[in-house]
Amino acid sequence: MVTRGGWRANEAIVKGEAEYTGPTQVFFVHHTATGNGYSCAQSASIVRGIQAYQVRSRGWDDVGYNFLVDKCGTVFEGRRGGVGRTVLGAHTVGFNADASSIAVIGNYGGVRVTPRVRTVIAAVAAYKLGAYGNAPNGRVVLTSGGGPRFPKGQRANLWRIAGHRDGGLTACPGNALYAQLPSIRAIAGAAPAGVHVLRIGGTALSARRYFSKGLIQPVWTSSTPTALINRFEIWVDGVLRVATPGAHRTTRLRLTPGSHTLSVRAVHLSGRSTTVSSRVIVDADAPVFAAKPVLALRPGTISSGAVPLQLRWNVGDGVALGSVGLTRPLAINLGTAARSRDVAAPPNRATPFTVRALDRAGNATSATITRTPWVVSEVSAQRRGSWRTLRNGGYLGGTAVAGSTRGASASFTFTGTSAALVFSRGPGAGRVGVFLDGRPQGMVDLRSASSEPRRIAWSRSWAGGGEHTVRVVVEGTPGRPGVALDGLVYLK
């Protein structure tokens, strides 16, 4: 808005002090009935001319209109006294009290105002009427102070946004502009439209809920022109937290841990409002591992570069777990429901496995376990009974030991958290009994449909890392007594 100082009002010709009236009940729309061929750079001088004419030629105290607007949509402060106050103007005979007004510079008998000017008229009208809770698209009954159309004391049923002709005997504001008043009322009296939250910075959206660590930045939009928006309000759980100017579309605020209803309320100049709400859950705590991850040997085939392992973990979050992934020795998405994963590690080398858990709010925690799968040759076993050496490139280290006599045994003593026996399985392989620290673990049948060298056929794991002994005893299975022992693997 161009103030009186901006358009260089002639304050020297103004008579007396500004007078004030009651709350704005009606807003009159006028045109100046001057030419339309002006450039908008000339608007300020035209306003000065209108002031001079109305004071010097008509004998008024000041320019009569409360506001003026040119064809480009620039608003000019009219009569002195304060834009935000109820200044008594001289614009509509009989209805200057409890009223405000705007005049469009030009003649709008046969020419419509542009959409921009229409919106500006609606904005100023909504601002003046809405300040007192009066619906711009409503009606009001006023008592005339005396004029050519309504004698003094006569009651008139007027639109809150009325044309000059509604209160007087005049063609003002011109037929074309008068025909636009219904749309101006609709714009001025509408609630903000198209209000919705585009995103909330500092959050992650999941299942229509926003998860955050606490500091958030909602970003919203509205299809209603900014000129018609009084302000935006941000409410949290029914409590007003922030109010921003109508031109703003974002703000920052910090929420406490817990579940909250975040509401963005757009307030129209008319006083009507539109509210949209979102659910924001604040989680300040990272996920928690119930214990360190666990690595154990598992059935599978050993190669020169990989020993089959199983990784187990247990992690949870007090609000919502977002993701769980392996970050070392390679990146794998483990999912939030799984609690184990088959992995592998190179033999005879320490390998760290790091599990990282992330909750929906972005809090993260990690846990690491490092283990070395040591491969022990069958040559190192304490053997009893009849065994013979087998040589083949398919065995670990190129050798294995074969036993077919019932009762032949081989023992490995080691210190670790998991152990596995490696055999060469095949169609003619027999069975062995396994003992752990002297306690029987059952029989293991090594027969398979095809040849499977370097195969883990039995494995166990335990919590501690103490010393243990695993002993293999040949059963001498009828018809297929032979077994091929290829060594032991243990984790340390």
φ, ψ for residue 50 (rounded to 5)?
A: -65, -45
Is the pLDDT at 373 greater than 90, yes or no?
yes
- Site of tokens 């229409």: 118
Instruction: For residues 209-215, give the mean pLDDT.
Output: 97
Instruction: For residues 273-289, give the mean pLDDT.
Output: 97
The packing angle between helices 181-189 and 115-130, to 10°, is 50
| pLDDT, mean over the chain | 96
Would you place residue 463 in the very low, low, confident or very high pLDDT band (cuts 50, 70, 90)? confident
Confidence at residue 464, expressed as pLDDT on a 0 to 100 scale: 83
| 328-359 residue pLDDT tens | 999 999 999 999 999 999 999 999 999 999 99
Contact 357, 290 (CB under 8 A): no
Tokens read off for 327:
């970050």
Name which of 417, 392, 402, 420 is nearest 476 in CA terms. Answer: 402
Instruction: For residues 108-121, give the mean pLDDT.
Output: 97
Contact 69, 76 (CB under 8 A): yes
| 5-38 residue pLDDT tens | 999 999 999 999 999 999 999 999 999 999 999 9
Is the pLDDT at 134 greater than 90, yes or no?
yes
| 231-252 residue pLDDT tens | 999 999 999 999 999 999 999 9
Name which of 222, 269, 274, 271 is nearest 248 in CA terms. Answer: 222
What's CA 153's distance to the chain center, in Å?
A: 59
b (16+ CB within 10 A) / e for 51-62: beebbeeeebbb
Name which of 178, 279, 227, 252 is nearest 73 in CA terms. Answer: 227
In one-letter notation, the amino acid at residue 377 is S
Instruction: For residues 255-273, give the mean pLDDT.
Output: 96
Contact 315, 357 (CB under 8 A): yes
How would DSSP label each residue in 445-490?
A: E-B-SS-EEEEEEEEEE-SS--EEEEEEEE---TT---EEEEEEEE
Name which of 162, 23, 153 is nearest 97 in CA terms. Answer: 23
| Helices then strands, each counted (H, E), the chain | 5, 35
CA–CA distance, 254 with 269 (Å, rounded to integer): 28
* DSSP category for residue 408: -
Alpha-carbon dihedral sign for residues 136, 137, 143, 145 = positive
- Site of tokens 């002994």: 469
pTM score: 0.77
Would you place residue 465 in the very low, low, confident or very high pLDDT band (cuts 50, 70, 90)? confident
Pairing outcome for strands 67-69 and 26-31? unpaired
Name which of 430, 412, 386, 420 is nearest 468 in CA terms. Answer: 412
Confidence at residue 218, expressed as pLDDT on a 0 to 100 scale: 98
Dihedral (C-alpha) 221, 226, 231, 235: value to the nearest 10 degrees?
A: -10
Within 10 A of 352 (CB to CB), how many other CB atoms are there?
12
For Cα atoms 275, 278, 279, give the angle at the middle one, nearest 5 degrees.
145
Instruction: For residues 187-198, give the mean pLDDT.
Output: 96
Contact 217, 200 (CB under 8 A): yes
Would you place residue 191 in the very low, low, confident or very high pLDDT band (cuts 50, 70, 90)? very high
Tokens read off for 356:
């990282």
Instruction: For residues 85-102, give the mean pLDDT.
Output: 97
* 256-to-202, 216, 283 alpha-carbon distances in Å: 14, 11, 9
Is the pLDDT at 481 greater than 90, yes or no?
yes
| 135-171 residue pLDDT tens | 999 999 999 999 999 999 999 999 999 999 999 999 9
CA–CA distance, 278 with 210 (Å, rounded to integer): 8
Is the pLDDT at 422 greater than 90, yes or no?
yes
CA–CA distance, 371 with 329 (Å, rounded to integer): 12
Instruction: For residues 130-134, give the mean pLDDT.
Output: 93
Would you place residue 266 in the very low, low, confident or very high pLDDT band (cuts 50, 70, 90)? very high
Pairing outcome for strands 26-31 and 99-104? parallel
DSSP H/E element including 12: none
